[in-house]
Amino acid sequence: MSYFDAASASPLHPVARQALLASLDEGWADPARLYREGRRARMLLDAAREAAAEAVGCRPDELSFTASGTQAVHAGIAGALGGRRRVGRHLIVSAIEHSSVLHSAEIHEKEGGSVTQVAVDRMGKAAPSDYAEALREDTALACLQSANHEVGTEQPVAEVAAVCRKAGVPLLVDAAQSLGWGRVDGDWSLLTGSAHKWGGPSGVGLLVVRKGVRFAPQGPSDERESGRAAGFENLPAIVAAAASLRAVRAEAAQEAARLRELTDRIRARVPELVPDVEVVGDPVRRLPGVVTFSCLYVDGETLLHELDRSGFSVSSGSSCTSSTLTPSHVLRAMGVLSEGNVRVSLPPGTAREDVERFLEVLPETVVSVREKLGAPTPTTAVREDALIVDALIVDALGKRCPIPVIELAKVIGDVPVGGTVRVLSDDEAARLDIPAWCEMRGQEYAGEEPAERGTAYLVRRVS
């Protein structure tokens, strides 16, 4: 079995396993106590904090351990907003932040605060100029991830941090995806991370608050972790997290170069092997092991199940794989195809042979899924027996992705050049996938209209 979902959770690093087992015997006592066992636990905790701080590039007393990366994000945003409440209650986030950031923004808005969501381009990158434009006199905090968790695009953190610093606004960076590969550049103010993303154990996050940043922890707290993470520390897991972060950093440069070569291979070969595929995300400024692509006329959930049957564990941002039946907010913000979406995120140590086998299996798997759905052939042409009319209506109400797009592709050849197809759909994914199909197939997307049920999407044939 080839595990290609390291962006969700990376396999436990051998150093993490060793440190975890060793510290179970030494780190069980309360590090706040003054007796021998407590002092021994305190020494382990202090050493782990120093190691993590060195890896992050901060002072040890600026770093707190939390119960997860999500908790670190929630505590960081709430504390920064609380500390700057006198300045105002305006929060800035990018449209592709991790759900932990967006959920915090939702709560902030419900409690009377205001939120500006900065758009991204088709590569998934936010512009520093857009952050500068979003800043206001009452802006209390801005947030920007270091790299995107779904498509791998790296963000211009240093440039955005400079813009925020000039305006006197702290910047919180969610560095969960990138911290294992290196420090985050720029004059940021707060930073969060999650150990299971870099090969540490789950249940350990870290929150860094630079000296001089106004910060007021919200909710019940105690004396532990500077009052920023209440509760007894999971010391063995913390020790393992810090040890694994140091270990992966020592291997990062060499492994990053190797994984980039493998993902470049996937980015180049997938469009050659599989017709009607869109590779998404920045081709250069991206995480070493992440590559994401979307396949037309494919049910994402079925594709993932079939790849799993073939021995590959991958992830997806397709609406077909979620209980909400809506495309991932990341793909939606980028305006790219969501159906048949596959995210390959290679863990350190991935063998080239596994990648080559994936490239062998993928084409036949996509063909199989497309055949089951009755998808059209890769080329669209006017059928000789077709009755040509100027306009057609495709009723795809009640049908989920990718059926509306499949039905559109089947009939586009039945209208002359200049003719239109009106697709009726109540699937949220159609708003993203029909325009994406038009761009990929050289047709004109003419917009949408309200319909008695759902929405009518207008497509004009131009070729």
Q: CA torsion, points 131, 132, 137, 142, in degrees to nearest 10? A: 30
Instruction: Report the DSSP pairing between strands 190-194 and 171-174.
Output: parallel
Which residue do the tokens 């929150």 mark? 207
Cβ-Cβ contacts under 8 Å for 390 (sequence gap 6 or more): 415, 416, 418, 419, 420
DSSP H/E element including 292: strand 290-295
CA-to-CA distance for 94 and 335, rounded, in angstroms? 15
pLDDT of res. 57: 97
Q: Across the chain, which distance is largest between two alpha carbons, in Å?
A: 89
Nearest residue to 54 (alpha-carbon basis) of 182, 205, 220, 212 = 182
DSSP 413: G
Q: Which residues pair with 5 in a beta bridge?
A: 345
Is residue 390 classed exposed, middle or buried when 0-12, 13-18 and 19+ CB atoms within 10 A define those classes?
exposed
**Which pLDDT does position 381 carry in this prediction?**
45
Average pLDDT by stretches of 10, the chain with 463 residues: 95 97 91 93 96 97 97 97 97 97 97 98 97 98 98 98 98 98 97 98 97 92 82 94 97 97 98 96 96 94 95 85 75 93 96 98 96 77 56 92 93 93 94 93 94 94 93
Phi, psi angles (nearest 5°) of residue 212: 95, -10
DSSP 114-128: EEEEEPB-TTS-B-H
401 is a catalytic site residue = no
Given 58, 295, 320, 438, the catalytic residue: 320
Alpha-carbon torsion 306, 309, 310, 313, what sign?
Answer: positive
Which DSSP letter does residue 65 get?
Answer: E
Q: How many Å apart are CA 113 and CA 233, to the nearest integer?
A: 32
Whether the bond into 402 is cis, omega within 30 of 0: yes
Q: What is the end-to-end Cα distance of the chain in Å, rounded?
A: 44
Give CA 70 to chain center in angstroms: 13
Q: Are 205 and 174 in contact (CB under 8 A)?
A: no
pLDDT value of position 388: 64
